[in-house]
Structure 1
Amino acid sequence: MTILGVLSVLPSCSSNETGNDVIQVPDAPAVPKKEILTEADPTIFLDEDGTYYLYGTASNSGYGFYVYQSNDLNTWQGPVGNANGFCLSGATSFGTTGFWAPQVFKKGNTYYMFYTANEQIAVAKSNSPKGPFTQDVKKAIATPGKAIDPFVFFDTDGKAYLYHVRLQDGNRIFVAEMTDDLMGIKEETAKECVYATEQWENTANANWPVTEGPTVLHIGDTYYMFYSANDFRNIDYAVGVATASSPYGPWAKSKQSVINRSNIGYYGTGHGDIFKDANGDWNYVFHTHQSFTEVSPRKTAVVGLKYLGTTFCVSDDTFHYLSK
């Protein structure tokens, strides 16, 4: 059975599949004609000139972050970082190992990168999306204990919030209001948002349950949080959506995952970022396992999303790996 054969039986946007179905492994996977990018925990930033920039956790995550660029979301060039392909490294910013899960945005004339290193969260600045992102003083944002997976959300009232994961009795998603300079958080505002309690969120019944990789939107009166659950090595790693009427919650979680191995056709579907493309359409960039038998290096993919007024679902025939 070919890859195409597997995909042809996947559920559509209206399906109630949870992602726990058995996926039939094809006998002879097609060899890609182009090199598929192997960035995990990916994020895509669309700059004002229409250029897309891809960042993520690289296979050699002990050094920093690469950046790739594209004009069409399909074919990518790079790495194009201004420091030998890197846009950030420990040479100019906080961190000596474990450079994970970056987020890039532009405020004024400055590009910001929030990222994880040494299981702490840090922020660096640049005048270009290609970097180099630097810090005047190499330091992390102060949090109690270990913290990873930052996502900065700007609400309509101008306040900025840092959604992130705290490593305490599992991977738990928290939120805290940020300081005006975006260099820290107001710890007194910190509140837990999401913890793995649904069946689909911990299919292995692990003692250390995982929810991670948050990304947040505000549409109308509702806040939407996309997040991943299960250990990333689990074939059931998947993406769910939680909703709230406040950036602090309380959050009502989806009873089933929205992006999963059942509706994508590959294992380990998760930890990404939602974004609008140049046409104004919603997309989600994420990673999958390398194959049906190997987790790493993880491969980078994009899928289109439909907004249904109260939640999102995967658009048919939109999944594709990013390549160069």
Structure 2
Amino acid sequence: MKKIVSIATLFCVFAACSQEKSTEKPKEESTSKPILLADPTVFYNNGLYYLYGTTSGDVPIGEGFQVYTSSDLKEWKGPVGAQNGLALKKGDTFGDKGFWAPQVISYKNKFYMIYTANENIAVATSDSPLGPFKSESKEPIIKTGNQIDPFVFIDEDGKKYLYHVRLTNGNRIFVAEINDDLQSIKAETLTECISGTLPWENTQNVSWPVTEGPTVLKHNGLYYMIYSANDFRNPDYAVGYATAKSPLGPWEKATDSPIISRKDVGINGVGHGDVFYDKAGKMKYILHTHFNNGAVSPRKAGLIDIDFEGAKIKANAKSFILLEE
């Protein structure tokens, strides 16, 4: 009899719990959505993070560059560019198609955007990180050939270097000193840095190997180049690094590359980003991923913690997040 009462009691308790749960309000569905930017970069200024990149959603890549803002790297607002969400708009500067891979820096009391359009590199200026970024010359920095993915590095001695990708027998990373006005290079300094020669850099064994998206920084007297390899449509698109004792090289590829790949973060096509430091001085890498593991586009912006461990760069895969607006 006791056994029967116990079972009945348990049934009543279960029923009561079920009724109690049924009175709970259903959780509201999240209204957030992924930020659809490829080749992203983050610029920090006066308490705000500004996120730019190649448009990958509703805005055609021939229209310019969107910008999003955040105060904490978690909640993002945008697009909030000065011209209908765009920080740089077609017609205000060089180029009428293929606006890719922007970088924004503060220099000489202005904000400079170095970017790709028409498979060439150009620069525009603004009084605000929100834009509008404009230029008078509407000319590319390098007048010959085709080049993409610019990154300007200013060394401790004040010399400036334009790292970029030249489209010649593969996507190859080059560097040249850039003049103080950021409008032209010193052609005699043009030097090849890196091409896709390692197995992880060309997993499909294509005849046009790709290394691209360079970011350069200096740590303990050593220069570090973080770059991506493989075609961006390849699931194995990934991030590695190389080191040099001079900004012109020669560059030695790290044996522990890639440091960020689909094996680490669980999503295809991770790469082509930029390094920045948050308010607390913590090192971050902003990058893009495929839309999901079945579709490449539109690409999504993501964030991951990286740091130096001795002379190596390590990524914390557990910190990886996709950005949402």
TM-score by length of 1: 0.89
In 2, Cα distance between equivalents of 1:213 and 1:316:
20
| Structure with larger Rg | 2
Partner residue in 2 for 1:199: 199
In 2, Cα distance between equivalents of 1:317 and 1:202:
26
Q: How does 1:166-245 map to 2 (within 5 A)?
A: 166-245=166-245
Partner residue in 1 for 2:71: 71
Partner residue in 2 for 1:84: 84
Following TM superposition, by how much is the alpha carbon of 1:317 offset from its aligned partner in structure 2, in angstroms? 2.4
In 1, Cα distance between equivalents of 2:267 and 2:143:
35
Contact 1:241–1:311 under 8 Å retained in 2: no
Q: Deviations over 1:36-57 (max 9, x none)?
A: 101000000001x110000000
In 1, Cα distance between equivalents of 2:71 and 2:266:
27
In 2, Cα distance between equivalents of 1:152 and 1:54:
17
Partner residue in 1 for 2:306: 305
SS of equivalent to 1:315:
strand
Is the helix fraction higher in 1 or 2?
2
1:293 aligns with 2:291: no
Following TM superposition, by how much is the alpha carbon of 1:307 offset from its aligned partner in structure 2, in angstroms? 1.1
Unaligned ranges ≥5, structure 1: 1-30
Deviates more, 1:293-302 or 1:136-145: 136-145
Contact 1:143–1:187 under 8 Å retained in 2: no
SS of equivalent to 2:264:
helix
In 1, Cα distance between equivalents of 2:30 and 2:266:
16
Q: Deviations over 1:86-120 (max 9, x none)?
A: 11012211111000000001013100000000000
1:57 aligns with 2:58: no
Contact 2:265–2:317 under 8 Å retained in 1: no
Select which of 17, 32, 35 maps to 2:33.
35
* Higher RCO structure (Cα 8 Å, ≥6 apart): 1
Partner residue in 2 for 1:317: 318
Partner residue in 1 for 2:5: none
Letter in 2 for 1:305: I
Following TM superposition, by how much is the alpha carbon of 1:254 offset from its aligned partner in structure 2, in angstroms? 2.1
Q: Deviations over 1:55-106 (max 9, x none)?
A: 0000211110000000001111011111111110122111110000000010
Q: How many aligned residue pairs are there?
A: 293
Structure 1 segments of 4+ aligned residues over 2 angstroms from their partners = none
Partner residue in 1 for 2:4: none
Following TM superposition, by how much is the alpha carbon of 1:316 offset from its aligned partner in structure 2, in angstroms? 4.7
SS of equivalent to 1:153:
strand
Q: Deviations over 1:6-33 (max 9, x none)?
A: xxxxxxxxxxxxxxxxxxxxxxxxx975
Partner residue in 2 for 1:106: 106
Contact 2:264–2:317 under 8 Å retained in 1: no
Following TM superposition, by how much is the alpha carbon of 1:207 offset from its aligned partner in structure 2, in angstroms? 0.6
Contact 1:141–1:185 under 8 Å retained in 2: yes
In 2, Cα distance between equivalents of 1:155 and 1:322:
31
Contact 1:239–1:257 under 8 Å retained in 2: yes
Deviates more, 1:150-159 or 1:81-90: 81-90
Contact 1:238–1:257 under 8 Å retained in 2: yes
Letter in 2 for 1:226: I
In 1, Cα distance between equivalents of 2:43 and 2:280:
14
In 2, Cα distance between equivalents of 1:83 and 1:93:
14
Contact 2:66–2:81 under 8 Å retained in 1: yes
Contact 2:302–2:323 under 8 Å retained in 1: yes
In 2, Cα distance between equivalents of 1:174 and 1:181:
20
Deviates more, 1:143-152 or 1:124-133: 143-152
Following TM superposition, by how much is the alpha carbon of 1:136 offset from its aligned partner in structure 2, in angstroms? 1.1
Following TM superposition, by how much is the alpha carbon of 1:223 offset from its aligned partner in structure 2, in angstroms? 0.3
Partner residue in 1 for 2:275: 274
Counting aligned pairs with the same residue, the percent is 54
Unaligned ranges ≥5, structure 2: 1-28
In 2, Cα distance between equivalents of 1:241 and 1:269:
14
